Structure 1
Amino acid sequence: MAEGGKAVQEELSLPILLADRVIKSAQEAESSKGDCGELAKQADRLSQKLRAAARIIAAAAPGAVYERPLRRIAADVSKNLDRALTLTRKCRRRSGFFPHLFAITTSGDFRRAAAHLDSSAADLAWLLSIFDDSEGGANLSLPPIASNDPTVAMLWSSIASVQMGQLRDRVDSADYLASLALINDRNKKMIVEEGGVGPLLKLLKEGASPEAQVAASTALLNLGNDQERVQSIAGEFAVQVIVKVLGDSPMRVQVAVANLVARMAEMDPETQEEFGRANVTRPLLTWLSMDIVLGDTKLESGKTSIHSLVEMNKELARNPFINSHHSNSSSSLKKERSVESPELKLELKISCANALCKLSRESLLNSRKITETKGLLCLAKLIEKEKGELQTYCLMVVMELAAVAELNTELRRAAFKPNSPAAKAVLEQLLRVIDEENSPTLLIPAIKSIGYLSRTFPAKETRIISPLVTQLEHRNADVATEAVIALTKFASPDNFNCVDHSKAIIICDGVPRLVNVIRTNSRDQVHGLVLLCYLALNVGNSKALEQARALNVIEGTARSILAQYPEQRELFAKTIHHLTLYQAGAHNHRQGYAT
Structure 2
Amino acid sequence: MVMAAEEEKSIQDVLSLPILLADRALKSAQEAESFKPENSELARQVTELSQLLRSAARLTTTSPAVYDRPIRRVSLDVTKALDRALTLARKCRHKKTNVLHHVLSITTAADFKKVSALLDSSLADTKWVLSIFNQDTDNWSINLSLPPIATTDPILAWVWPYIAAVHMGRAEAANELAILAQGNDRNKKIIVEENGIPPLLKMLKESGNLDAQNAAASALCNLADDPGRVRMIMDASGVQVVARALPEAPMRVQVTLVNLVARMVEMDADVKEEFGKENVTRPLVALLGMDVDLEEFKEANSRRTVNSLHLIVQINKEMVKKGVHGLGSGKSFEGSRHHSHRKDKEREMESPEVKLRLKVSCATALWKLAKGSLSNSRKITETKALLVLAKIIEKEPVELKMNCLMVVMELAAVAESNNDLKRAAFNPSSTAAKVVLDQLLRVINEDTSPPLVTPAIKAIGCLASMFPAKEKRVVQSLVAQLSNRNLDVAAEAAKALGKFVCDDNYNRKEHSQAIIEFNGVPKLMNLLRSNNRGPLHLHEIVLFCNLAINAGNSKALEQARVLSVLEGAARHVVTQHPDLRELFAKAIHQLTIYQAGIHTHGEV
TM-score, normalization by structure 2: 0.91
Change (3 A) 1:382 1:311: farther
RMSD: 2.4
What secondary structure is seen at the aligned counterpart in 1 of 2:181? Answer: helix
Work out whether 1:211 is the aligned partner of 2:214.
no
Over residues 83-137 of structure 1, what are the superposed CA-to-partner deviations in whole Å (9 max), with x where a residue is unaligned?
A: 2122222223454324443222222221111101100100011101111111522
Change (3 A) 1:307 1:137: farther
Q: Which amino acid aligns with 1:356?
A: L
The equivalent of 1:84 in structure 2 is 85
1:412-451 mapped onto 2 (5 Å cutoff)? 412-451=422-461
Q: Which amino acid aligns with 2:77?
A: D
The equivalent of 2:593 in structure 1 is 581
1:10-49 mapped onto 2 (5 Å cutoff)? 10-49=13-52
1:489-568 mapped onto 2 (5 Å cutoff)? 489-521=499-531, 522-523=533-534, 525-562=537-574, 564-568=576-580
The equivalent of 1:129 in structure 2 is 131
Distance 2:344 2:292 in 1: 17
Query: CA contact under 8 A between 1:248 and 1:329: conserved in structure 2?
Result: no
Of 306, 314, 322 in structure 1, the residue corresponding to residue 319 of structure 2 is 322
Distance 2:142 2:449 in 1: 49
The equivalent of 1:117 in structure 2 is 119
Distance 1:151 1:447 in 2: 50
Q: CA deviation at 1:308?
A: 8.0
Comparing 7-16 with 91-100, greater Cα deviation is found at: 91-100
The equivalent of 1:383 in structure 2 is 393
1:97-496 mapped onto 2 (5 Å cutoff)? 97=98, 98-134=100-136, 136-164=140-168, 170-297=170-297, 313-319=309-315, 320-324=317-321, 325=323, 326=325, 327=336, 329=339, 333-496=343-506
Change (3 A) 1:309 1:435: farther
Over residues 139-184 of structure 1, what are the superposed CA-to-partner deviations in whole Å (9 max), with x where a residue is unaligned?
A: 211110010111121111222222226xxxx222222222221242
Change (3 A) 1:333 1:493: closer
Residue ranges of structure 1 left out of the alignment (5+ in a row): none
Distance 1:334 1:90 in 2: 77
Change (3 A) 1:384 1:342: same
Query: CA contact under 8 A between 1:255 and 1:351: conserved in structure 2?
Result: yes
Q: Which amino acid aligns with 1:50?
A: L
Query: CA contact under 8 A between 1:288 and 1:352: conserved in structure 2?
Result: yes
Query: CA contact under 8 A between 1:35 and 1:110: conserved in structure 2?
Result: yes
Q: Which amino acid aligns with 1:260?
A: L
Comparing 280-289 with 173-182, greater Cα deviation is found at: 173-182
Change (3 A) 1:330 1:394: closer
Q: CA deviation at 1:403?
A: 0.8
Residue ranges of structure 2 left out of the alignment (5+ in a row): 326-335
What secondary structure is seen at the aligned counterpart in 2 of 1:150? Answer: coil
Comparing 288-297 with 322-331, greater Cα deviation is found at: 322-331
Distance 1:539 1:87 in 2: 98
The equivalent of 2:331 in structure 1 is none
Comparing 87-96 with 448-457, greater Cα deviation is found at: 87-96
What secondary structure is seen at the aligned counterpart in 2 of 1:427? Answer: helix
Q: CA deviation at 1:255?
A: 0.9
Q: Which amino acid aligns with 1:5?
A: E
Change (3 A) 1:567 1:106: farther
Over residues 296-355 of structure 1, what are the superposed CA-to-partner deviations in whole Å (9 max), with x where a residue is unaligned?
A: 228xxxx99988876654433221222443416387554322322222222211111111
Q: Which amino acid aligns with 1:113?
A: V
Q: CA deviation at 1:461?
A: 2.6
What secondary structure is seen at the aligned counterpart in 1 of 2:482? Answer: helix
Comparing 191-200 with 520-529, greater Cα deviation is found at: 520-529
Q: Which amino acid aligns with 1:286?
A: A
Distance 1:488 1:459 in 2: 15
Q: Which amino acid aligns with 1:27?
A: Q
The alignment of Structure 1 onto Structure 2 pairs a total of residues equal to: 580
Over residues 376-419 of structure 1, what are the superposed CA-to-partner deviations in whole Å (9 max), with x where a residue is unaligned?
A: 12212222232311111111111111111112222112222222
Distance 1:393 1:273 in 2: 21
Distance 2:406 2:542 in 1: 26
Q: Which amino acid aligns with 1:427?
A: L
Q: CA deviation at 1:294?
A: 2.7
Comparing 342-351 with 468-477, greater Cα deviation is found at: 342-351
Q: Which amino acid aligns with 1:580?
A: T
Query: CA contact under 8 A between 2:6 and 2:72: conserved in structure 1?
Result: no
What secondary structure is seen at the aligned counterpart in 2 of 1:47? Answer: helix
Q: CA deviation at 1:12?
A: 1.3
TM-score, normalization by structure 1: 0.92
